[in-house]
Amino acid sequence: MEITFLGVVFAVIIVLLAIGRPLYQAIAGGMVVTAVLFHLPVTIIGTKIVSVITNWSSLSVLLSLYLITFLQKILESRSQIRLAQQDLNGIFHNRRINTAGAAFFIGLLPSAASMILCADIVKDATEGYLDPKEQAFTASWFRHIPESVLPTYTAVLLMSNLSGVEISEFILYMIVPVLALAGLGYAVYLHRIPNDTGTPASTNRLADFAHLIQHLWSLLLILILILVFHFQVVTSVLVSIALCIIIYRVTLDEIRKFIFAAFEKKMLGNTFLVLCLKELIAHTGVLLLLPDAMAKLPLPTYLIFGLLFFTATVISGSTGAIAMGTPLAFAAIPGGAPLMAYLMCMAHAASQISPTHVCLVVAADYFHVTLGDIVKKTLPVSIAFCVLMTLYYNVIKQGEGKTICIREKKKKTSAVR
């Protein structure tokens, strides 16, 4: 019954979005229905809403959104993003590479707020060739490719820890999925963008590369602080902002203006509601019921867990799905790195259509489209990716099985000798 209730909650959100209601109304409606169906006391609701502000894991998302927006305002005031786009034009002289490459690069930053910077570049590169809904899909799809594989993201680290699979081995098996994600994104919309940038070819690519570093040093610094020195996102962005203020000689008047301009009420408000909905759903404990429900399906065990990861991620995000499902999956299947890669792919595909995914909220607000618009564009591509990765998993498992057989034969031969 609880799973049925959960289906009703998401049906309400989908219907409200489908009839054109704003995202905050759809999420708020989902929260109300969750509270009613699961009989959540007012005190619990209040506690969970307050926890979004009091728990650092949630508060840091809101703070990073604000700070990245603040940094964006500084960079815009000094034309750094526009100049970086010109540098990319000079280096590659290919609009498609500029679009995908810039989004992929910014995706190295493990912060939902980086979607703002990514959207800036994608919009500039695709304006006049893709409509806002297609731009939103392109920015979101390519920006999230690194999230499927890099250990700078919580989901990858958590699954590696719970499964016991080495990150290096996991990354090796993720080469094909990453290429598949890029290929699908290209086949859907990116191929419609002309290669020609409309600017003269570079006469000095080395100089253009140096200029690119010069214009994007603030983002590179954030990435280095996170990857090398293990800074938190908020701290890294604060350091970058402080140096930008000094280097770009940002005045006090400009700082005051940016403080208010960076407070995007709609984006921050929608993000806050999404985080609240996640807290309420987590409190119901309905995710814990999914494995038993999925086990009744007449499907192979690996596919049942794949569907479990997909469903749970759509409901509450990849972290909850991984925390719940990984110990169960690896206890039921001796999967190793191939299984981790498969389950991560299923979770990644689901996260691109989840109403609890903060990045989608940011992209929708930036391009002035609805969350439903992004989901409609993304759903067929996510399903195609899941099908491809299911085939991929079967291929690598068969290959692994043959390798094990060969090793066993060699051992037996050596023992006889």
Q: Give the span between the Cα atoms of 126 and 330, in whole angstroms.
A: 43
Which residue blocks in 248-300 are alpha helix, DSSP H? 252-261, 265-284, 290-295
Strand, coil or helix: 364: helix
Higher pLDDT, 402 or 366: 366
pTM of the predicted protein model? 0.69
Strand, coil or helix: 345: helix
Six token digits for residue 379? 């759903």
Phi, psi angles (nearest 5°) of residue 41:
-65, 155
Q: Give the span between the Cα atoms of 323 and 312, in whole angstroms.
A: 10
Q: Give the span between the Cα atoms of 204 and 298, in whole angstroms.
A: 61
Q: Give the span between the Cα atoms of 29 and 22, in whole angstroms.
A: 11
Q: In the chain, what's the furthest Cα-to-Cα distance?
A: 83
Note the Cα 6 to chain centre separation in Å.
23
116 touches 358 (CB < 8 A): no
Across residues 383-397, what is the average pLDDT? 95
> Is the torsion defined by CA of 357, 310, 226, 224 positive or negative?
negative
Q: What is the DSSP letter of 27?
A: H
Higher pLDDT, 273 or 17: 273
Contacts 24+ apart (CB under 8 A), 382-385: 382/349, 382/350, 382/352, 382/353, 383/349, 384/184, 385/177, 385/180, 385/181, 385/184, 385/345, 385/349
Higher pLDDT, 72 or 43: 43
Quick one: which of 92, 91, 184, 93 has its CA closest to 145? 184
**Most confident stretch, 49-53, 147-151, 277-281:** 49-53
Residue 391 confidence class, pLDDT cut points 50, 70, 90: very high
Residue 186 confidence class, pLDDT cut points 50, 70, 90: very high
121 touches 197 (CB < 8 A): no
pLDDT in tens, 274-307: 788 878 888 888 767 776 776 677 888 889 889 9
Q: Tell me, what's the pLDDT at 176?
A: 95
Q: Give the span between the Cα atoms of 283 and 107, in whole angstroms.
A: 30
User: H or E segment at 117?
Assistant: helix 114-126
| CA 245-246-251 angle, 5° bins | 55
- In this structure, which amino acid lies at residue 387? V
Phi, psi angles (nearest 5°) of residue 22:
-60, 155
Q: Give the span between the Cα atoms of 237 and 75, in whole angstroms.
A: 13
